[in-house]
Amino acid sequence: IVGKVSGLVPVEVDDLREGDFGAWQGLNRREIQATWPDELERWHHEVEVAPPGGESLAQVAARVREVAGQALAGHAGETVVLVAHSIVTKTGIGTLTGMDPATWYELRIPPGSVSILRLWPEAHELVVTGLPPEVVGSDATPTLF
Protein backbone atom coordinates (compact mmCIF):
# COMPACT_ATOMS: atom_id res chain seq x y z
CA ILE A 1 0.00 0.00 0.00
CA VAL A 2 2.76 2.45 0.95
CA GLY A 3 4.64 1.65 -2.26
CA LYS A 4 1.58 2.29 -4.42
CA VAL A 5 0.83 5.62 -2.75
CA SER A 6 4.41 6.89 -2.49
CA GLY A 7 6.05 5.36 -5.55
CA LEU A 8 8.69 3.83 -3.27
CA VAL A 9 9.87 0.29 -3.92
CA PRO A 10 9.23 -1.85 -0.82
CA VAL A 11 12.14 -3.84 0.60
CA GLU A 12 11.34 -6.58 3.10
CA VAL A 13 13.54 -6.36 6.20
CA ASP A 14 13.38 -9.52 8.31
CA ASP A 15 14.41 -7.66 11.47
CA LEU A 16 11.10 -5.73 11.33
CA ARG A 17 9.05 -8.93 11.59
CA GLU A 18 6.52 -9.14 14.41
CA GLY A 19 7.73 -10.28 17.80
CA ASP A 20 7.72 -14.03 18.45
CA PHE A 21 4.99 -14.68 20.99
CA GLY A 22 5.90 -18.36 21.43
CA ALA A 23 3.20 -20.27 23.33
CA TRP A 24 1.05 -17.12 23.38
CA GLN A 25 0.79 -16.90 19.58
CA GLY A 26 -2.84 -16.84 18.47
CA LEU A 27 -4.22 -16.46 22.00
CA ASN A 28 -6.13 -13.45 23.27
CA ARG A 29 -5.26 -11.63 26.48
CA ARG A 30 -7.88 -13.49 28.52
CA GLU A 31 -6.53 -16.88 27.39
CA ILE A 32 -2.95 -15.88 28.20
CA GLN A 33 -4.02 -14.48 31.58
CA ALA A 34 -5.77 -17.75 32.47
CA THR A 35 -2.63 -19.84 31.99
CA TRP A 36 0.29 -17.44 32.54
CA PRO A 37 -0.95 -14.57 34.76
CA ASP A 38 2.40 -13.86 36.42
CA GLU A 39 4.38 -14.09 33.19
CA LEU A 40 1.95 -11.76 31.41
CA GLU A 41 2.18 -9.18 34.18
CA ARG A 42 5.98 -9.31 34.13
CA TRP A 43 6.04 -9.15 30.31
CA HIS A 44 4.09 -5.88 30.48
CA HIS A 45 6.67 -4.27 32.79
CA GLU A 46 10.00 -6.03 32.27
CA VAL A 47 11.43 -5.91 28.75
CA GLU A 48 13.76 -8.87 29.40
CA VAL A 49 10.81 -11.23 30.04
CA ALA A 50 9.73 -13.34 27.06
CA PRO A 51 6.57 -15.36 26.53
CA PRO A 52 7.26 -19.10 26.95
CA GLY A 53 9.26 -20.11 23.87
CA GLY A 54 9.08 -16.56 22.49
CA GLU A 55 11.02 -13.34 22.21
CA SER A 56 11.42 -10.57 24.79
CA LEU A 57 10.75 -6.91 24.00
CA ALA A 58 14.46 -6.30 24.58
CA GLN A 59 15.23 -8.74 21.75
CA VAL A 60 12.73 -7.01 19.47
CA ALA A 61 14.22 -3.62 20.39
CA ALA A 62 17.72 -4.83 19.50
CA ARG A 63 16.47 -5.78 16.02
CA VAL A 64 14.84 -2.38 15.55
CA ARG A 65 17.98 -0.52 16.71
CA GLU A 66 20.00 -2.45 14.13
CA VAL A 67 17.58 -1.47 11.34
CA ALA A 68 17.60 2.18 12.47
CA GLY A 69 21.40 2.18 12.49
CA GLN A 70 21.47 0.79 8.96
CA ALA A 71 18.91 3.37 7.82
CA LEU A 72 21.00 6.19 9.28
CA ALA A 73 24.18 4.86 7.69
CA GLY A 74 22.71 4.06 4.29
CA HIS A 75 20.05 6.72 3.84
CA ALA A 76 21.33 9.85 5.58
CA GLY A 77 19.21 12.88 4.69
CA GLU A 78 16.49 10.73 3.12
CA THR A 79 12.99 9.82 4.20
CA VAL A 80 12.68 6.14 5.05
CA VAL A 81 9.29 4.50 5.59
CA LEU A 82 9.16 1.47 7.87
CA VAL A 83 6.04 -0.67 8.06
CA ALA A 84 5.75 -2.94 11.09
CA HIS A 85 3.35 -4.51 13.56
CA SER A 86 2.39 -2.83 16.82
CA ILE A 87 4.93 -4.53 19.12
CA VAL A 88 7.79 -3.72 16.75
CA THR A 89 6.58 -0.13 16.44
CA LYS A 90 6.19 0.30 20.23
CA THR A 91 9.61 -1.12 21.03
CA GLY A 92 11.17 0.87 18.20
CA ILE A 93 9.70 4.15 19.39
CA GLY A 94 10.58 3.35 22.98
CA THR A 95 14.16 2.30 22.42
CA LEU A 96 15.00 4.95 19.81
CA THR A 97 13.63 7.84 21.87
CA GLY A 98 15.10 6.67 25.17
CA MET A 99 11.79 6.01 26.90
CA ASP A 100 11.82 3.99 30.10
CA PRO A 101 11.38 0.40 28.85
CA ALA A 102 8.72 -0.23 31.51
CA THR A 103 6.48 2.28 29.67
CA TRP A 104 6.81 0.91 26.12
CA TYR A 105 3.71 -1.22 26.50
CA GLU A 106 1.66 1.88 27.36
CA LEU A 107 2.13 3.34 23.87
CA ARG A 108 -1.09 3.06 21.90
CA ILE A 109 -0.44 2.24 18.27
CA PRO A 110 -3.76 1.70 16.45
CA PRO A 111 -3.68 -0.77 13.54
CA GLY A 112 -2.77 0.94 10.29
CA SER A 113 -1.74 4.17 12.02
CA VAL A 114 1.29 6.28 11.22
CA SER A 115 4.04 7.23 13.64
CA ILE A 116 6.81 9.63 12.68
CA LEU A 117 10.30 9.68 14.17
CA ARG A 118 13.21 11.83 13.14
CA LEU A 119 16.54 10.08 13.41
CA TRP A 120 19.85 11.90 13.46
CA PRO A 121 23.16 10.34 14.44
CA GLU A 122 23.13 12.28 17.71
CA ALA A 123 19.41 12.35 18.57
CA HIS A 124 16.08 10.65 17.88
CA GLU A 125 12.79 12.53 18.16
CA LEU A 126 9.22 11.23 18.28
CA VAL A 127 7.14 13.65 16.22
CA VAL A 128 3.75 11.93 16.26
CA THR A 129 2.34 8.49 16.96
CA GLY A 130 -0.98 6.88 16.13
CA LEU A 131 -1.86 9.29 13.33
CA PRO A 132 -4.86 7.98 11.36
CA PRO A 133 -3.68 6.99 7.88
CA GLU A 134 -6.43 8.95 6.14
CA VAL A 135 -4.89 12.28 7.21
CA VAL A 136 -1.40 11.43 5.94
CA GLY A 137 -0.79 13.37 2.77
CA SER A 138 -3.94 15.46 3.22
CA ASP A 139 -4.24 19.09 4.25
CA ALA A 140 -4.85 17.82 7.81
CA THR A 141 -1.33 16.36 8.11
CA PRO A 142 0.59 18.22 10.82
CA THR A 143 3.32 20.53 9.60
CA LEU A 144 6.66 19.23 10.80
CA PHE A 145 9.53 21.65 11.32
Q: What are phi and psi of 114, to 5 degrees?
A: -115, 130
pLDDT tens by residue, the chain, 145 residues: 677 777 778 888 999 999 999 999 999 999 999 999 999 999 988 999 999 999 999 999 999 999 988 888 888 888 788 888 889 999 999 998 999 998 888 888 888 888 888 888 888 888 888 888 777 665 544 444 3
CATH for 13-108 is 3.40.50.1240
How many angstroms separate the CA atoms of 50 and 145, rounded?
38
Q: Where are the domains of the chain?
A: 13-108
